[in-house]
Structure 1
Amino acid sequence: MPYEPPPALAELSLAEIAEAVEARKLPPLAQWSPQREGDSLMRIAADGRWYHDGGEIRRPAMVRAFASLLTRDGDARHWLMTPHERLSIAVDDAGFVATDLTVREAQGAPVLAFRLNTDEFVVAGPEHPLRAAGDPETPALYVMVRNGVEARLNRSTYAQLVELGLEQDGDGKEPSVWSGGTRFSLVPLP
C-alpha cells in the first residue's frame, strides 16, 4: 500500500492535526530494555538527511521507520532502539527538522503546530516545549518531539515563528510566543 502523505499543514484544523498525531502508531520504546549495544553506522545531518555508512538513505519510508525508533538519553546521545538492541546514531544537530508552522486557536488561546521532515505533526505546549539555543548572533529554535529528541526549526519556519513572536510580544522586552497555555521565549539564555 503506497504511502499517502498528510495534507498541507495550513489546510488542517486543530482537531485534524490532533487526530493525525493520535493516529501515528509508534513503538513503545520506553518499555524496552535491550541488553546489547552497537553502532548503527548512521548519521542524521543538520539538514535532516539520513545517511548509512556514508551513503544517503533516499527512501522516505525507511527514514520514517528509523525515525520512529529514535531516542536520546540523559547524556544527549542518540540511539535507534529495538527490543533486542540499541544502536548509536550520530546526530549533527537535531533528530528532526520542523519544516512548517501553523497557528490555530483553542479556547481563545493560540496553539502552534509544526510539520516535521518525516511528515509528522507536533503541537507545541507543556509536553512539547520550544527551546531557544545558540546566541544572539546565531540563534536556533527547537521543539521537543518525543523520547528526548528535538526538531530544529528550518530557516523559513524559524522566520515565521520569530515574526509571530514579535507580533505577540506585548511587553517589548523579548520576543516570545504562546502555545497550549505556555509562554516560550525566543531569546537564547546567556
Structure 2
Amino acid sequence: MTSRARKPSPIELQGVSLSGLQNLIDERRLPPVEQWNPERCGHSDMRIARDGTWYHQGSPINRPAMVRLFSTVLRREPDGSHVLVTPVEKLEIDVEATAFRAVEMQSEGEGQDRQIAFSLDSGDAVIAGPEHPISIVVSEHGPSPRLGVRHGLEAELSRAIYYELAEIALAENHDPPGVWSDGEFFPLSPPEA
C-alpha cells in the first residue's frame, strides 16, 4: 500500500437516522477486493484475536486508523481462510473468531418495519438485512451471534447487543424468538442440529 491510501473515518451511529446512516454507508468507497485475485504470496504475520485486537509479529497494532485501513482490504476466501488482498499480492491473516465485533446497535421502527444498524470495531456500520444477515453460529466457545458484513466476513455481536436483540424479540413475541430488520426475519437461536 502506498502512503497516499486514504484512511477511512469511522462511521458513528449516534445522532444519525438510519436513512442518513445508509447514505453514509453508500458513500463509503471501499477497495474492490472481490475483483482482485493475485496468487497467495505468504503470511502477513498478522492475526485478529478473539477480542478484536489486531497483532503484527506478536505486537498489538495500536493505531486505530491503521487497523481501519487494513480492514478495508480484508476478505474471506471460499475455503474459510482470511486474506489481506491488493491488486498485486494476497497475504494470509489468522482470525481467531470473526474479523469484526459489533460494538453498538441502533434500532428504528417496529415488527416487520424495523431496521437495526450496528457499529463495528473497524469503524464501519452495517444495517442488518438480506445482504447482512444475523445468525447464531455454534462455535467451540458456545453459541456466537454474528452479523454478515462483506466479502464473507462476519462481526460477532457483543453480549450486551445480543441481549438488546433478545429484548426486542421478547417484546414482539415472535415464534421462534427473533427480530426483523430491513424486511428480513432473523431467529435468535442456533439452527437445529
How far the C-alpha of 1:5 sits from its partner, in A, is 4.2
Q: Which residue of 2 aligns with 1:74?
A: 78
* Runs of 5+ unmatched residues, structure 2: 1-5
SS in 2 for 1:61: helix
Secondary structure of the residue aligned to 2:149 is strand
Q: For this pair of structures, how many residues does the alignment match?
A: 186
Question: Runs ≥4 in structure 1, deviation > 4 angstroms?
Answer: 1-5
- Counterpart check, 1:155 vs 2:136: no
Within a 5 Å distance, the mapping from 1:2-151 to structure 2 comes to: 5-7=10-12, 9-105=13-109, 109-134=113-138, 138-151=142-155
The alignment-based identity, stated in percent, is: 41
Structure 1 unaligned segments of length 5 or more: list them. Answer: none
The answer as to whether partners of 2:44 and 2:91 remain within 8 angstroms in 1 is: yes
User: What does residue 179 of structure 2 align with?
Assistant: 177
**Residues 169/10 of structure 1: CA separation in 2 closer, same or farther (3 Å cut):** farther
Give per-residue Cα distances to partners, 1:82-120, cap 9 Å, x unaligned: 1111111000000000001111139x7001100000121
The answer to whether the Cα contact below 8 Å between 1:98 and 1:116 also exists between their aligned partners in 2 is yes
TM-score, with structure 1 as normaliser: 0.90
Check whether the contact 1:36–1:84 (CA below 8 A) recurs between aligned residues: no
RMSD after superposition: 2.2
The one-character-per-residue Cα deviations of 1:11-56 (angstroms, maximum 9, x if unpaired) are 2101211011112110011111212421001000111110001000
SS of the residue aligned with 1:83?
coil
1:138 positional shift: 3.1
Find the residue that maps to 1:66 and give its secondary structure: helix
In the other structure, the counterpart of 2:3 is none
How far apart in 2 are the matches of 1:13 and 1:117?
20
| Equivalent-residue separation in structure 1 for 2:126 and 2:29 (angstroms) | 14
1:187 pairs with one of 186, 189, 192? 189
Tell me what 2:169 maps to: 165
